[in-house]
């Protein structure tokens, strides 16, 4: 019994305790799951008439589980071995590294974009790997970026860096945030509070926070958010 609209180029957050159904919503939006009843419409086009591959190619998906390859930073962003000889390609890599707020870090490395990151990115911190992964997803030029608990296992400084990369994207692409941390979702355009598969509350952070008896405040006070 969910009903909601995600406007283009807005940042929408889905919050709630573990098991509330947030990631299920993300899977529905990616058309990995079909609703038991009701419809999903994208730009007024019904789910039944949507080319799934075409739609998924327009989605960037960032979760806690990141695929980082034992190769250079440039390759990990572009997945193209010829990026060094292609000026346009290399410029695109740098542009998306900037959008992901990792360009300054890369520039401090002696080998820059030629730096090898090791197996599973072992030479990078958790926050650096996450931003590298975001840069790769942005390189694909998605119209929709989903961040599914992307900051939940990171330290505060790393989370702030990811938050800055999200802020840089606001108004440029549609962003969906699924998160536990208040700081991650605080500046979202709109928040949906989910519990047991239902939307209990919705509104801006300020409006939800000012309702003293809201479920949103309960999540905050009980440290579930």
Q: What is the pLDDT of residues 74-98, one digit of tens each?
A: 999 999 998 989 999 999 999 999 9
Residue 8 has pLDDT above 90, yes or no: yes
Are 193 and 15 contacting, i.e. CB atoms less than 8 angstroms apart? Answer: yes
Residue 176 reports pLDDT greater than 70: yes
Q: Quick one: pLDDT band at residue 154, thresholds 50, 70, 90?
A: low
Residue 151 has pLDDT above 70, yes or no: no
User: For residue 10, is pLDDT > 90?
Assistant: yes
Q: Residue 136: exposed, middle, or buried by beta-carbon count in 10 A (0-12, 13-18, 19+)?
A: buried
Which pLDDT value is given to residue 49? 94
From residue 49, alpha-carbon distances to 7, 33, 55, 174 in Å are 20, 15, 11, 22
Question: Do strands 45-46 and 41-42 pair parallel, antiparallel, or not at all (unpaired)?
Answer: antiparallel
| CA–CA distance, 22 with 14 (Å, rounded to integer) | 6
Distance of CA 44 to the CA centre of its chain: 24
Position 55 scores a pLDDT of 94
3-state helix, strand, coil in the chain (%, to 5): 40, 20, 40
Mean pLDDT of 33-43: 91
Beta bridge mates, 174: 144
pTM of the model: 0.86
Least confident of 15-19, 93-97, 102-106: 15-19
Q: What is the mean pLDDT of the chain?
A: 89
What proportion of the chain, given as a percentage, has pLDDT over 70?
A: 96
Whole-number pLDDT of residue 201: 93
| Confidence (pLDDT) at 184 | 80
Using an 8 Å Cβ cutoff, are 201 and 193 in contact? yes
Helix (H) or strand (E) holding 203: strand 198-203
Dump pLDDT digits (tens) for 184-208.
888 899 999 998 889 999 999 999 9
* 47, 55 contact by CB (below 8 A): no
């Amino acid at each position: 019994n969910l009903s909601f609209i995600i406007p283009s180029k807005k940042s929408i957050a889905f919050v709630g305790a573990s098991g509330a159904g947030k990631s299920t919503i993300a899977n529905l939006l990616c058309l990995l799951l079909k609703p038991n009843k009701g419809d999903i419409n994208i730009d007024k086009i019904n789910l039944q008439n949507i080319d799934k591959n075409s739609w998924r190619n327009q989605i960037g998906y960032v979760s806690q589980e990141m695929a980082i390859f034992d190769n250079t930073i440039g390759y990990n962003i572009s997945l193209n071995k010829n990026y060094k000889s292609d000026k346009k390609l290399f410029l695109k890599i740098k542009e998306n590294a900037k959008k992901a707020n990792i360009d300054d870090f890369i520039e401090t490395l002696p080998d820059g974009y030629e730096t090898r990151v090791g197996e599973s990115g072992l030479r990078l911190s958790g926050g650096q790997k996450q931003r590298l992964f975001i840069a790769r997803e942005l390189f694909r030029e998605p119209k929709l970026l989903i961040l599914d608990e992307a900051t939940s296992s990171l330290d505060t400084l790393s989370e702030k860096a990811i938050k800055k990369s999200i802020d840089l994207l606001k108004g440029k692409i549609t962003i969906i945030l699924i998160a536990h941390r208040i700081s991650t979702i605080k500046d979202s355009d709109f928040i949906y509070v989910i519990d047991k598969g239902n939307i209990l509350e919705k509104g801006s952070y300020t409006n939800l926070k000012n309702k003293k008896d809201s479920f949103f405040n309960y999540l905050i006070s009980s440290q579930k958010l």
